[in-house]
Structure 1
Amino acid sequence: MGLGQSNMAAAATKKDFLKVEGEQITLHGKPIILKGTAIGGWMNMENFITGFAGHEHQARAALKEVLGTKKYDFFFDKFLQYFFGEDDAKFFASLGLNCIRIPINYHHFEDDLNPRVFKKEGLKHLDRVIDLCAKHGIYTIIDLHSAPGGQNFDWHSDNPTHKALFYEHKDFQDRTVLIWEHLARHYKDNTWVAGYNPLNEPSDEKHTRLVAFYDRVEKAIRAIDPNHILFLDGNTFAADLRHFGKPLPNSVYTCHDYSIYGFPNPPSLYEGSKEQIDFHKDSFKSKTEYMRKHKGPVWVGEFGPVYQNAEDGFDNWEHINDTRFDVLKLQLGIYSKAQASWSIWLYKDVGFQGMIYAGEDTAYVKLLKDFLRKKKNLAADKWGVDDRSVRHLFQPLEEWLETSAPSFKERYPSSWGVEGHLSRLVRNILLSEELVKEFAGFFKDKTYDELEELAKSFEFAQCTQRTRLNEILKADSKRSGEKSNRAVMSEKGD
């Protein structure tokens, strides 16, 4: 049992939990807006966040083969320890932000070869971080980012295929329900857990199976834990709620709202034109139509630009980043006007998107510097990719596929187009999983002390702040209508 859970369980009453009331999330009947980030790359690892190749389970398997079980277990326990500690919680609270979304991978709780048997150590670090956040007046949202079988077909659900088999096999859904029942039993009395995010960015091609699963998992969770809010992502990577019926009780329906102007190869640099501003307003309006129709709260579960650096080959890289900060400020203004809660992606990484990142002089970044550059040049990772260096290779294949099978243009999700599906299969699966071996090789023959130093590279004291990003987020936390962490803690009586 976590420290926060054990301290709060006896005193917690129904009124101490956050609750959905009409268009607002409330505490003791008063509105509260949740503003924060996500600890992506921690209990659900992603290749662009911490620099490995392929998918998490592949990188872990390769590292276990290189290191052996004892060193492997030691390294990852230290990695989880250093990635988020008390200094991280203090820093986050100092920005005036009040909520952290915690993506988790089901592999922490059960193994595919031993399903339905929950690991004793699975909750160790999750408890620790939830308790640290509670200590500093920060709510947490538990997000199942990777479910058995893959609730979508991308790297961030640790799915090595291009099929979301979660919807094809009832057993995967059964196991996911059991995981949520396990988590609900453990956290049902913890009032600092704002709620549960049952599936991140689900993508059901038929649209109906996801809705049915939400109905099922809601009943299963409520039978154990009637108080916590459910944060329910829309279909097709949290972008489509058109096939949903009446909202489930005490639930917040969520969208993800990434801007094409915050990524490489935008239609043009963002200049704040009326057309560009209207584009963002219309996009948000479309994604939140369901919430407005049913007069419910809005939570933007993910959004945020990626950033360039001096090594990316752009003479104007600093100006490019300025335009992306301007996009961020525009989006925050739109959310503020809508009184929407939000969670920016993400808190910490190796220098691509995070609020803070492992410094250039850390052991981990120095060890992998050339490999990170190679991955970027090959466009091996999906997220925020700049494919200029390989575009000449893929364009003829795209044209060939489109000519050979014109239906490719409608392949789900159709927004990807031929380019998106081809790059997913060839670069982000075939090439990337082969690079896993090279990544693991950098750890060969490392001593326990060296492994700890590598893990410690993610400790707050060794990280660099993305200062302007944090200043923008801090300024937004002071907008009218926001409850301070201190006020929340006072009302909760902790």
Structure 2
Amino acid sequence: MASNTSSSSPNSRNGWTRSNSILRVSGTSIVDGDGNKVILKGVGLGGHLNMENFITGFTGHEHEHREALTAVLGKEKADFYFGRFLDYFFTDKDAEFLASLGLNSIRVPINYRHFEDDMNPGVIKPEGFRLLDRIVNICARHNIYVIIDLHTAPGGQNQDWHCDSGITKALFWKFKNFQDRVANLWFEIAKHYRGNPVIAGYNPLNEPSDPDHVNLIAFYARVEKVIRIVDPEHMLFIDGNTYSMDFTRFPKTPLPNAVYACHDYSFLGFPRGGTYTGTPEQKAKLRSSFERKVKFMRDAGVPIYNGEFGPVYASAEENGMSAAQVNECRVALLREQLSIYRETDVNWSIWTYKDINYQGMVYADEGSAYMKLLAPFIQKKKDLSADFWGSNDDKVKERYEPLFKAFREWVPEHLHNKKYPSPLWTIERHVERVVRETLLSEYLGWEMAEYFDGKSEEELDELAASYKFENCKVRDELNAALSEDAKATGKSSRL
């Protein structure tokens, strides 16, 4: 497929100009073709070309969600709905808003299923590039760099819902065929975008979790060579192992022209993690946690990219506090993290841009057609703790505790932490991931689909339009914190 360079011409807005050269690594910095330092500060476009349950309200995995709606609506109407959803979720108005905040980059998570079918592996579908080109061209018009992030791989590169495998094992590391398909996909992506200065680089795998800690290293070496066959210029964004937090088994010599990426979520930003009050102990823990994740980058002398971070926000009382009190604490936590990153010019991308009022900078209005239709289901899903992100299990804990207790008794104690990723996941976490977030969620996904039964194309269009920027609300406190940090860096942070 031909290189997409139609959007690569220089563009000027608000007194600054996007470089017409491709970004590259220079020591610990990212620079443009003239050697000017560029600090990438942006957001992940979660929920779009890779859908996630907590972002748009379904349960389980994206392919299950699509299949359930197709079974209810029929293929033609389901395709119509999802097509409209993708059209409305990210438009020029969204890019204009991000640029107005001073943000200069978007990390675009993609699902491999847009580019190939499991029943026709290795055959690349043009539709995937049409969808991705649309985002790239929008970003080009608003001077925003794009990082292409493979968020799902065939078989699943990690054990969680966001790699859309439908299971809780990362089979990507067990089957060479899966790895061959991803290498082929990156060859085609790199060929398509070579020479395009809007593209900041390629993120080969989001949050890989290789239990053996060696398959990932071999895969990175392989995919780097494959990409370089057709694109010797664009940077690579290399995630650490175990959900982008572990670099301890990485070779001391980094890959050429590569930025290494951690993810820096804090438990204090979630309902089960306690309350951030800004104590010296909490601030010290935030700093030490981040420095542990980036020790490899510091030692190797390469740029640091924090590909995901950020708390979730409350819309009702939580842990005995009002939503306003909770969110004040969460924004304070975010500001402290940003101050740590700013000290050493860390590149960052907050998670996530748009959702149903969990974590997004922008979120669907509760009065919109989508939110009114699905409000009962979304509340049920939350009460049942059917997705892990942004919920607690207060209302179902007593139901599951006997099961957890039984597992602790049935499994010898010395094996409780045997299953990877441990101790990141306890034995209870493994049980709830399988029972609640996979099996129960599959059943609930069929229930959600029934809410769409009988909807006309006009009604489906209205539901999808709930995600248009002009129909959404913005999270002012969060956006102010991000904008202040982005603009505080000055011109070096802009394109």
TM superposition score normalised by structure 1: 0.95
Q: Which of 417, 440, 457 does residue 409 from structure 1 map onto? A: 417
3-state SS in 2 of match to 1:149: coil
Residue of structure 2 equivalent to 1:322 = 328
Residue of structure 1 equivalent to 2:30 = 25
The alpha carbon displacement at 1:341 in A equals: 0.3
Please say if residues 99 and 138 of structure 1, whose CA atoms lie closer than 8 Å, have aligned partners that are also in contact: yes
Matches of residues 57-68 of structure 1 in structure 2 within 5 Å? 57-68=63-74
Separation in 2, partners of 1:120, 1:228: 22
Separation in 1, partners of 2:118, 2:148: 21
The alpha carbon displacement at 1:382 in A equals: 1.6
Please say if residues 48 and 86 of structure 2, whose CA atoms lie closer than 8 Å, have aligned partners that are also in contact: yes
Matches of residues 383-422 of structure 1 in structure 2 within 5 Å? 383-405=389-411, 406=413, 407-414=415-422, 415-422=424-431
Please say if residues 2 and 191 of structure 2, whose CA atoms lie closer than 8 Å, have aligned partners that are also in contact: no
Matches of residues 27-42 of structure 1 in structure 2 within 5 Å? 27=32, 28-42=34-48
The amino acid that maps onto 2:254 is P
Separation in 1, partners of 2:306, 2:474: 23
The alpha carbon displacement at 1:101 in A equals: 0.3
The alpha carbon displacement at 1:84 in A equals: 0.2
The amino acid that maps onto 1:345 is W
What are the Cα deviations for residues 371-403 of structure 1, in whole angstroms up to 9, with x where unaligned? Answer: 000000000002122111111122232232123
Matches of residues 207-286 of structure 1 in structure 2 within 5 Å? 207-245=213-251, 246-266=253-273, 268-286=274-292
The alpha carbon displacement at 1:2 in A equals: 9.7
The amino acid that maps onto 1:408 is H
Q: In 2 relative to 1, CA 313–257 (structure 1 residues): closer, same or farther, beyond 3 Å?
A: closer
Separation in 1, partners of 2:120, 2:197: 32
Matches of residues 318-357 of structure 1 in structure 2 within 5 Å? 318-357=324-363
Q: In 2 relative to 1, CA 168–469 (structure 1 residues): closer, same or farther, beyond 3 Å?
A: same
Residue of structure 1 equivalent to 2:469 = 460
Please say if residues 59 and 444 of structure 2, whose CA atoms lie closer than 8 Å, have aligned partners that are also in contact: yes
Q: In 2 relative to 1, CA 291–313 (structure 1 residues): closer, same or farther, beyond 3 Å?
A: closer
The alpha carbon displacement at 1:261 in A equals: 0.6
Residue of structure 2 equivalent to 1:492 = none
Separation in 1, partners of 2:6, 2:359: 35
3-state SS in 2 of match to 1:290: helix
Q: Percent identity?
A: 50
Separation in 2, partners of 1:52, 1:311: 23
Residue of structure 1 equivalent to 2:21 = 16
The alpha carbon displacement at 1:410 in A equals: 3.3
Q: Is 1:5–2:12 an aligned residue pair? A: no
Please say if residues 4 and 193 of structure 2, whose CA atoms lie closer than 8 Å, have aligned partners that are also in contact: no
Residue of structure 2 equivalent to 1:491 = none
Please say if residues 51 and 62 of structure 2, whose CA atoms lie closer than 8 Å, have aligned partners that are also in contact: yes
The alpha carbon displacement at 1:223 in A equals: 0.5
The alpha carbon displacement at 1:233 in A equals: 0.4
Residue of structure 2 equivalent to 1:164 = 170
Separation in 2, partners of 1:483, 1:31: 6
The alpha carbon displacement at 1:445 in A equals: 1.1
Moved more, 115-124 or 147-156: 115-124
Separation in 1, partners of 2:72, 2:401: 37
Q: In 2 relative to 1, CA 443–2 (structure 1 residues): closer, same or farther, beyond 3 Å?
A: farther
What are the Cα deviations for residues 267-295 of structure 1, in whole angstroms up to 9, with x where unaligned? Answer: x4211111111000000110000000101
Residue of structure 1 equivalent to 2:94 = 88
The amino acid that maps onto 2:263 is H
The alpha carbon displacement at 1:311 in A equals: 6.1
Separation in 2, partners of 1:2, 1:280: 45
Residue of structure 1 equivalent to 2:133 = 127
Separation in 2, partners of 1:318, 1:163: 38
What are the Cα deviations for residues 306-362 of structure 1, in whole angstroms up to 9, with x where unaligned? Answer: 011126584422111111111100000000002100000000001110000011111
Matches of residues 120-199 of structure 1 in structure 2 within 5 Å? 120-199=126-205
Residue of structure 2 equivalent to 1:103 = 109
Please say if residues 402 and 409 of structure 1, whose CA atoms lie closer than 8 Å, have aligned partners that are also in contact: no
3-state SS in 2 of match to 1:446: coil
- Which structure 2 residue ranges, 5 or more long, are not aligned? 11-18
3-state SS in 1 of match to 2:371: helix
Residue of structure 1 equivalent to 2:315 = 309
The alpha carbon displacement at 1:409 in A equals: 2.5
Q: Which of 435, 455, 459 does residue 426 from structure 1 map onto? A: 435
Moved more, 398-407 or 38-47: 398-407
Q: Is 1:52–2:58 an aligned residue pair? A: yes
- Which structure 1 residue ranges, 5 or more long, are not aligned? 489-494
Matches of residues 373-388 of structure 1 in structure 2 within 5 Å? 373-388=379-394
The amino acid that maps onto 2:431 is L
Separation in 1, partners of 2:153, 2:99: 30
Please say if residues 210 and 241 of structure 2, whose CA atoms lie closer than 8 Å, have aligned partners that are also in contact: yes
3-state SS in 2 of match to 1:307: coil
Q: In 2 relative to 1, CA 337–315 (structure 1 residues): closer, same or farther, beyond 3 Å?
A: closer
Matches of residues 289-308 of structure 1 in structure 2 within 5 Å? 289-308=295-314
Separation in 1, partners of 2:56, 2:390: 14
Residue of structure 2 equivalent to 1:435 = 444
The alpha carbon displacement at 1:150 in A equals: 0.4
The alpha carbon displacement at 1:484 in A equals: 5.3
3-state SS in 1 of match to 2:192: helix
Q: In 2 relative to 1, CA 242–6 (structure 1 residues): closer, same or farther, beyond 3 Å?
A: same
